Structure 1
Amino acid sequence: MRKITSIVFILFFLSSIGYAQSELSIEKIMKDPKWMGNFPSNIRWDDQSKHIIFNYNPEGNPSDSLYKIAVSKTDQIEKVTLEEQRAFIPSFANSNLAQTKKVYVRNGEIILVEVSSGKKTSLLNWGDRISTPRFLANENRISFESGGNLYVLDIDSGKINRVTNINSGNKRISREGSKINDREISLREENLELLQVVKEREENRESSRAYREATAEAEPFAYYLGDKSASSLQLSPDEKFTTFNLITRAENKRTVVPDYTHVSGYTTDINTRSKVGDEPTKVELALYDIQNEKVTIIDASTLPGIQDLPDYTKDYPEKNWEVKDRNVTFSSPIFSNDGKFAIVNIRSSDNKDRWIAQLDLNTAELKVLDRQRDEAWVAGPGVGSAYGGGTLGWLPDNKHIYFQSEESGYSHLYILDVTTGSKKALTSGKFEVFNPFISKDQKSWYLTTSEVHPGERHFYKMPLMGGKMEKLTSMTGNNDVSLSPDEKHMAILYSYSNKPWELFLKPNNAKAESKQLTSGQSEEFKAYNWKDPELVNFTAQDGASVPARLYKPNPEKSNGAAVIFVHGAGYLQNVHKWWSSYFREYMFHNLLTDLGYTVLDIDYRGSAGYGRDWRTGIYRHMGGKDLSDQVDGAKYLVAQHGVDPERVGLYGGSYGGFITLMALFNEPDTFKSGAALRSVTDWAHYNHGYTSNILNEPFNDPIAYKRSSPIYFAEGLKGNLLIAHGMIDTNVHFQDVVRLAQRLIELEKDNWEMAVYPVEDHGFVEPSSWTDEYKRILKLFNTTLLD
């Protein structure tokens, strides 16, 4: 009788708080994403600008295939045949300056293509591995790499010339030139005296060697790498110099991740990454002077600020900091089209400096053109990394370079005159620039920006030397444009907050209309009225305006509880007006809202899309402002949206899982429950490239690591915690949560549980795993926030 009474009470309670049903279910939204429909991706054009080519899967095959739509017949979607695919010019093909010809390697052959006609000519069948063919200043000549050396092919004559002589290892020293001790001399002389045949053979060898030395030409110049390796070989357009990077790899201990479900039936070890604090790989730059037959290693000691200590060292006055040249990494130089100049991107190993320098090819000296210093770390859209990338190159006049910088606090496009050092910002304002490139006629820029709104992306055209930007797209959301090679049309991959990606076509004209070419939503997906979350801002405790997406339930269904979602990756934007990469979480938020929850999704400090200060707001303290933003978000929900302060939970994966742990350990009076998915628990165990930017190195900045790692605060747990982790996670290792579990056991905490997923890596793949995980999350919130 007591059990029946309890069930009736629970049902009455749920109805009294408006606990509603939903058309959605965990099983539905977490099944294979094919149920949602079929959406295009990886948009590109054929070289004749006749067809848009993209990945698509209207037939529901195990994986996407290539499809095409003709500009002249936009109502017909056709599958690209295997024969057509083989005929495609690869995206990595090198173009001449006029972009009328392309050259690439396929199956050991160098292929030349006339772009307008599509005519292909086999220039060389080398018989050995070849790579990176490039047009030189004389476009009848092409450089290519084979066997670690560079060669030049003359198209007209067919003649091939080897231009470098780079060899692995060390130069071999002949036995005759080697030193031998007295004992060896004595043994040798005794052997020659006793054995006549051996003596005669040795005399013959000596005579032959003397003859060869008397008649031989001087040994050709050769460069030996020793214990280093070479990469990124390239020949200057004028064929006078070669540059290459010298790589010295450090041996760092790696973490082993056991795979308990390996097909063999045995536990198999997966060798994964090492941990933060690695010895860095050393990347030097070598200049090979072909005419003078010498190789010079470029000296970085003249870089301004090369010995600057970071500001955080002031927190350790007891430590004797050695003032010395910092290690730097050189990217591959970029030559002007005439080959007279070269620029190079250089990064300090602590990533607090980026220098763009001109390399004098005759003296091998560096002239710094621009220095970007950031006491946190240098990054941002278009800024690239230690190994290059990003926005950097030459204007057609061979006098100006272009690059992106966060100098103003937002990543903008700059040009600089290498002859005068004069620098000019081509864009400015509280927005960011993405993927700028120069038009085919070399008179304009095409670029994407967030000028309209941080949560929108639009495509623009701008004069080459700067001026008014013309906005070419108009649809609210994200307009990811692929411009046709003839620059007459834009293929637009477009989405909105509640509408997945579709393909549109528009003439390259701001006033023209966009035409939708695909419509991939399934009937099952369209049957639900997906919510368009409201973009809001709330005020943080330090006065900052924090962007967020708000999902509100119908007032009659509101249960007074709230869930805050914490996106992963740290530097990622999820408060925007386009279809989220977190589409499963987006659908889960629709389900939660149907059940009466209010949901808030915050672009906390450290998120992308809001400039340098927001990006670096977590420097030396993860779990600082990024956590207080969650707390302030909860206060906003209580003050503005009728949420019960005793019924707030949060969840997230990866970085979001880390914040969830920090929230439950450090703000237990704000958050009653949380689900930490694939979470970092101790930053000293994460990778070097990401972690050292934000927290420096654990042996140099232990303060930053101790205040940023959840495992040090586990004693603060009061609420209800779900930990979920893949056991073969090669990014955030399962070891992270194993160590935390032991800590919680030793602290005698009993309000937590752990769900493990034996076949899953960091990003879950199996629908069954997604379903199990989110059923547990929903159960956690229903049982802890609705009582």
Structure 2
Amino acid sequence: MRTALSILALLAAGTASADRLTLDRLHSDPALAGNGVRALKVSPDGARVTFLRGRPDNQFQMDLWEFNLKDKSTRRLVDSKVLVAEENLSDAEKARRERERTAALKGIINYSWSPDGKRLLVPIAGNLYLIEVAKPDAARLVASGNVTDPKISPKGKYVSFVRDQNLYVIDLATGKEKALTTDGKGTLHNGEAEFVAQEEMHQYTGYYWAPDDSSIAYRRYDEAQVPVARRFEIYADRTDVIEQRYPAAGDKNAIVELRIVDPVTGATKEVDLGPEKDIYLVRADFSADSKKLLFQRQARDQKKLELIAVDTATLTQKVLVTETAKTWTDINDDLRFLSGGKGFIWSSHRTGRNHLYLFDMDGNVKHALTRGDWGIDNLLAVDEGAGKVYFSSNKDAIIDKQTYAVSLDGRDADKPKRVTQADGWHDTTFARNGQLFVDTWSDPANPPQVSIRKPDGAILTWLEKNEINEAHPYYRYKSDHLPVEYGTMQASDGQTLYWSMIKPYRFDPAKKYPVYLSTYGGPGPQYVSRKWGDPFDMFMAQQGYVVFRLDNRGSGRRERAFTDAIYRNLGKVEVEDQLAGIDFLGKQSFVDPKRIGVYGWSYGGFMTLRLLSQGSDKIAAGVSGAPVTDWALYDTHYTERFMDKPSDNKAGYADSTVFAHVDGLKSNLLLIHGMADDNVLFTNTTKMVDALVNRGVQFELMTYPGAKHGVSDRKQKKHVQTIIEAFFRKHLKPDTVQ
């Protein structure tokens, strides 16, 4: 077996002209996309917008900034290096960041506002600081020692957090710290979300404040019955033996409880989650008046999702909403309570598309808020005074994301008003009262631009215009920035598939070019979108490749008929669609059908292996990063959502493995995996290596010491892209572009 290291000598990426991208520049400071911002929030008093921003000399070191709406000034509120010069993160915090996909970041990763808009709660490196906005240099250390998931209570009386598997509060009036739970240890956790809740349900918190500060609902889970995955984490200087509670498909999950605790007395009540213990607690929240705790219970087979109201005084319960599906029910964050007990807003796929509905507090549908042959992405804000509901959607273009408004009374449910106007991708953050929003917009030619706008979309001011002028980091590369083309084709069942293409630098239609096809292919993400893209795609196009993406059936932001096509046999229709895309490419006069390469990571790594196994006659080379090779090895909530349990779908699990098709793998292959991956376990790749060796198939392998699933270390990430480029250059041999 050759090692991937042997191909590094083939690297020629650094020969590009001064105006073309290089891998060195892709991974240098400042960021090519300009002054990017993240974690945008409008202060409760509406006076300022806060955000996190990387430094010019280190785009991954986050500081906290503010934009003052009155005088339109921008200043750094908190210098992360002043708070903590060197970070030493606990294993729990490292794992949490891996789940949140923030492992590459340092400094201030998140923060929260006090309800009066005068203070900010800032966690960093296990410590917790309270910052007075008027005097940000006088940061007050309020807690230390592996603090995670800190919050300021809704009324501002308390700070809460989790430490060492227990839930704590600090009374801000007295400064006194109190442990609300004390039995958290070993397999028992309080105030935390279990592994699959964090990884697959995007439930990064395990406790929920009542709006009046009277109580906290918290998760309590015991993972004693979850099987132990005993694995190695191999680092450059050591090997750690890890015993991770990892529930693979069909295994037992953690037992989850829901409790309510009084932050003053510590008195605790247990909420009855029902006679069936093998369920998922996917969300919890309080009603606006704090009298009801609402929790969402999902069946183990995920075909039923219930919203249940609990009277916090008596603990009596009522099921308000029941969602069912023949395939799986989706989880959402769209639950909003109206004031004065006027009801709540909930999103549902009951029509086959995701729409918003207004319910009364007894669970009766009053009317649809949105309706039509399109669906919403998520609920953004509710302005009860103006009678408006704001949401995001791709109603006008599948590849776009726009913000829309409808009336709370439902009269224009099928005719929402588009608030954001420029074609492309808009991520919007609203003030609590809905009186303004922050709009982050980009398209393939423009990096993210951040503006502050009125509810009707009219601009108030720019927070970060980020124009590519002479001072912009991307300016010297602008003249060689290549356009992105979009198009559609049909799947075998007639459904519409969207694709994007970047033609090579100095494109000559008389020539034939190799193809770099980048895929994810799995449920959830949308890969073809009209926004500022991955700079590595642009780099590969400048190296002489046709860069191609296709969203196959099962991809996100589409109707259920489109997403449900993958049910009970992962990889089947996804591979069919990607191979149809490759056939489409092969018919283009400017494509060399003998020089097509495929790259993917995670689900995309699985797709790469399946594509090579079933399409080696059409694909010359593939790079598979951190692939799932057998779905029986992956976690319960994700896998069973699409596949059911292994005992209930033996044929589907057997056919969905890479190993059922691997005899057809004849193309050049590079396998990549992090050696401390706790998500897609390294076992997936070792099984693949064994299968290939037993079949006498030659391939190349690159493993990264200490790397988790995302391989987020900056040097490792650069190395990954270096080796990918070199591998494809070796096997697809693009013409040298002068």
The bucket for the TM-score relative to the shorter chain is: 0.7 to 0.9
User: CA 1:452/1:142 → structure 2, altered by over 3 Å: closer, same or farther?
Assistant: same
Superposition map of 1:311-322 within 5 A: none
Superposition map of 1:450-599 within 5 A: 450-468=394-412, 469-484=416-431, 489-512=436-459, 515=462, 517-519=465-467, 521-522=472-473, 525-553=476-504, 554-556=507-509, 558-559=511-512, 561-567=514-520, 570-580=523-533, 582-588=534-540, 590-592=541-543, 595=544, 597-599=545-547
Larger Rg: 1
Partner of 1:662: 610
Give 1:463's aligned amino acid. S
Deviation at 1:328, TM superposition (A): 2.0
Checking the alignment, whether the CA contact within 8 Å between 2:524 and 2:556 is kept in structure 1 is: yes
Deviation at 1:536, TM superposition (A): 0.7
Checking the alignment, whether the CA contact within 8 Å between 2:521 and 2:551 is kept in structure 1 is: no
SS in 2 for 1:710: coil
Partner of 1:690: 638
User: CA 1:56/1:105 → structure 2, altered by over 3 Å: closer, same or farther?
Assistant: closer
**Which residue, out of 406, 413, 418, partners 2:349?**
406
Partner of 1:248: 222
SS in 2 for 1:579: coil
- Structure 2: how far apart are the matches of 1:101 and 1:546? 49
Matched, 1:417 2:417: no
Give 1:470's aligned amino acid. K
Checking the alignment, whether the CA contact within 8 Å between 1:432 and 1:611 is kept in structure 2 is: no
Superposition map of 1:279-358 within 5 A: 279-286=252-259, 295=269, 297-298=271-272, 300-301=274-275, 325=276, 327-330=278-281, 333-358=284-309
Give 2:662's aligned amino acid. A
- Structure 1: how far apart are the matches of 2:258 and 2:499? 45
Paired residue total = 655
**Which residue, out of 63, 74, 77, partners 1:65?**
63
SS in 1 for 2:728: helix
Partner of 1:277: 250
| 519-528 or 762-771: bigger deviation | 519-528
Question: 1:179-226, CA deviations, whole angstroms, 9 ceiling, x for partnerless residues?
Answer: xxxxxxxxxxxxxxxxxxxxxxxxxxxxxxxxxxxxxxxxxxxxxx99
Question: 1:439-484, CA deviations, whole angstroms, 9 ceiling, x for partnerless residues?
Answer: 3747432322222212212223333333443332212211222335
Superposition map of 1:54-203 within 5 A: 54-57=51-54, 59-61=56-58, 63-71=61-69, 74=72, 77-80=74-77, 82=79, 91-93=111-113, 95=115, 134=153, 168=183
Give 1:415's aligned amino acid. L
Checking the alignment, whether the CA contact within 8 Å between 1:38 and 1:58 is kept in structure 2 is: no
SS in 2 for 1:329: strand
Partner of 2:28: 32
Checking the alignment, whether the CA contact within 8 Å between 2:357 and 2:365 is kept in structure 1 is: no
User: CA 1:152/1:686 → structure 2, altered by over 3 Å: closer, same or farther?
Assistant: closer
Partner of 2:195: none
Partner of 2:377: 433
- Structure 2: how far apart are the matches of 1:269 and 1:36? 39
Question: 1:667-693, CA deviations, whole angstroms, 9 ceiling, x for partnerless residues?
Answer: 233323322222222222233332232
SS in 2 for 1:376: coil
Partner of 1:53: 50
Checking the alignment, whether the CA contact within 8 Å between 1:38 and 1:57 is kept in structure 2 is: no
Give 1:547's aligned amino acid. Y
| 409-418 or 354-363: bigger deviation | 354-363
For the aligned residue pairs, the C-alpha RMSD in angstroms reads: 4.6
User: CA 1:443/1:615 → structure 2, altered by over 3 Å: closer, same or farther?
Assistant: same
User: CA 1:135/1:570 → structure 2, altered by over 3 Å: closer, same or farther?
Assistant: closer
Partner of 2:701: 754
Give 1:421's aligned amino acid. N
Give 1:431's aligned amino acid. G
Question: 1:361-393, CA deviations, whole angstroms, 9 ceiling, x for partnerless residues?
Answer: 5653432221112233222xxx33xxxxx1223
Question: 1:626-667, CA deviations, whole angstroms, 9 ceiling, x for partnerless residues?
Answer: 000111112222345554544433222221121111111122
Partner of 1:315: none
- Structure 1: how far apart are the matches of 2:141 and 2:587? 72
User: CA 1:230/1:70 → structure 2, altered by over 3 Å: closer, same or farther?
Assistant: closer
Give 2:326's aligned amino acid. E
Matched, 1:712 2:660: yes
Give 1:79's aligned amino acid. R
- Structure 2: how far apart are the matches of 1:761 and 1:298? 37
- Structure 2: how far apart are the matches of 1:80 and 1:703? 57
Checking the alignment, whether the CA contact within 8 Å between 1:326 and 1:349 is kept in structure 2 is: no
SS in 2 for 1:712: coil
Matched, 1:372 2:323: yes
Superposition map of 1:385-400 within 5 A: 390-400=333-343
Checking the alignment, whether the CA contact within 8 Å between 1:655 and 1:680 is kept in structure 2 is: yes
Deviation at 1:726, TM superposition (A): 3.2
- Structure 2: how far apart are the matches of 1:400 and 1:352? 26
Partner of 2:12: none
Partner of 2:3: none
**Which residue, out of 722, 731, 734, partners 1:780?**
731
SS in 1 for 2:660: helix
SS in 2 for 1:652: strand
User: CA 1:645/1:260 → structure 2, altered by over 3 Å: closer, same or farther?
Assistant: same
Percent identity between the two aligned chains: 20
| 768-777 or 357-366: bigger deviation | 357-366
User: CA 1:756/1:637 → structure 2, altered by over 3 Å: closer, same or farther?
Assistant: same
| 330-339 or 631-640: bigger deviation | 330-339
| 566-575 or 328-337: bigger deviation | 328-337
Matched, 1:609 2:557: yes
Question: 1:320-363, CA deviations, whole angstroms, 9 ceiling, x for partnerless residues?
Answer: xxxxx472234565333334444321111232221012224565
Matched, 1:681 2:629: yes
Structure holding more strand per residue: 2
Deviation at 1:252, TM superposition (A): 2.2
Deviation at 1:485, TM superposition (A): 6.1
Question: 1:703-762, CA deviations, whole angstroms, 9 ceiling, x for partnerless residues?
Answer: 222111112322112333232333343333333223222212221224x33333446443
Give 1:558's aligned amino acid. K
| 350-359 or 62-71: bigger deviation | 62-71
- Structure 2: how far apart are the matches of 1:656 and 1:462? 37
Give 1:502's aligned amino acid. Q
- Structure 2: how far apart are the matches of 1:295 and 1:541? 54
Deviation at 1:607, TM superposition (A): 1.4
In structure 2, the gaps of 5 or more residues are 1-15, 84-107, 192-205
TM-score (norm 1): 0.71
Checking the alignment, whether the CA contact within 8 Å between 1:259 and 1:270 is kept in structure 2 is: no
Question: 1:127-148, CA deviations, whole angstroms, 9 ceiling, x for partnerless residues?
Answer: 9999766457xx9x87979997
Give 2:451's aligned amino acid. F
User: CA 1:680/1:241 → structure 2, altered by over 3 Å: closer, same or farther?
Assistant: closer
TM-score (norm 2): 0.75
Deviation at 1:397, TM superposition (A): 2.6
Partner of 1:635: 583
SS in 2 for 1:711: coil
- Structure 2: how far apart are the matches of 1:731 and 1:149? 26
- Structure 2: how far apart are the matches of 1:417 and 1:226? 43
Higher relative contact order (CA 8 A, sep 6+): 2
**Which residue, out of 231, 236, 239, partners 1:267?**
239
- Structure 1: how far apart are the matches of 2:566 and 2:577? 11
